[in-house]
Amino acid sequence: GQNIDQPTEMTATEGAIVQINCTYQTSGFNGLFWYQQHAGEAPTFLSYNVLDGLEEKGRFSSFLSRSKGYSYLLLKELQMKDSASYLCAVKDSNYQLIWGAGTKLIIKP
């Protein structure tokens, strides 16, 4: 079966750095996505990786290792508004998005 694992919840301090990990097992791979979702709102796109390596976009970076079935989202200079759930999703061989359960990130002052 297809499976995406990420931690349920993480806590970090304002101004610090946090890394959210995601491991996946899917039938085929056509890219890995990270989305941010605030409670009661739809997910918003953060990043996309299809080749191995690090993609940097401002305070957010995303890393992918296809051989290990592993990705992480790195958030720097954390702000209180970064408190949200972060969803990892993989497009499989049918280009269908398979979603992880999401990681709830709690930022403390």
Partner 1 sequence: GAVVSQHPSRVICKSGTSVKIECRSLDFQATTMFWYRQFPKQSLMLMATSNEGSKATYEQGVEKDKFLINHASLTLSTLTVTSAHPEDSSFYICSAPGAGVTEAFFGQGTRLTVV
- Which positions touch partner 1 (CB under 8 A)? 30-31, 33, 40-45, 48, 50, 87, 91, 95, 97, 99-102, 104
What is the C-alpha end-to-end distance of the chain, expressed in Å? Answer: 40
Name the residue nearer to partner 1 (CB basis): 67 or 95: 95
Quote the least distance from Cβ 54 to partner 1, whole Å: 18
| Torsion of the alpha carbons at 22, 20, 41 and 44, rounded to the nearest 10 | -80
Beta strands in the chain (DSSP E): 3-5, 9-13, 18-25, 32-37, 44-49, 53-57, 60-65, 70-75, 84-91, 97-99, 103-108
Name the residue nearer to partner 1 (CB basis): 17 or 106: 106
Distance between CA atoms of residues 101 and 4, nearest Å: 8
Quote the least distance from Cβ 101 to partner 1, whole Å: 4
Quote the least distance from Cβ 15 to partner 1, whole Å: 27
Quote the least distance from Cβ 99 to partner 1, whole Å: 5
Task: Count CB atoms within 10 A of the CB of residue 85.
Answer: 19
Name the residue nearer to partner 1 (CB basis): 40 or 109: 40
Name the residue nearer to partner 1 (CB basis): 15 or 44: 44
